[in-house]
Chains A and B, each alone.
Chain A
Amino acid sequence: MSTENNFDHLLGIKGLSQSQIQTIFETADNFKSLLNSPVKKTPALRDTTIANLFFENSTRTRVSFELAEKRLGADVVNFSSSSSSVKKGETLIDTVNNILSMKVDMVVMRHPAPGACLFLAKHVNAQIVNAGDGTHEHPTQALLDAYSIREKFGEVAGKKVVIVGDILHSRVALSNIYCLQTLGAEVMVCGPVTLIPKNIEKLGIKVSHNLNQALQWCDVANMLRIQLERQDQRYFPSLKEYSKLYGLSQDRLDHLNKEICIMHPGPINRGVEITSDIADSNHSIILQQVENGVAIRMAVLFLLAQNNR
Chain B
Amino acid sequence: MPLLQIKNLCVSFDTSVGAFMAVKGIDMSIEPREVLAIVGESGSGKSVSMLAVMGLLPKTATVTADRMAFNGVDLLGLTGEQRRKIIGRDIAMIFQEPMASLNPCFTVGFQIEEVLRVHMGMDRAQRRARAIELMQQVGIAEPAERLGSYPHQMSGGQCQRVMIAIAIACNPKLLIADEPTTALDVTIQKQILDLLMRLQAEHGMGLIMITHNMGVVAETADRVIVQYKGRKMEEADVLSLFESPKSNYTKALLSALPDNATGDRLPTISDFALDPEGATA
Asked if A and B bind, the verdict is: no
| Chain A residues with a Cβ under 8 A of chain B | none
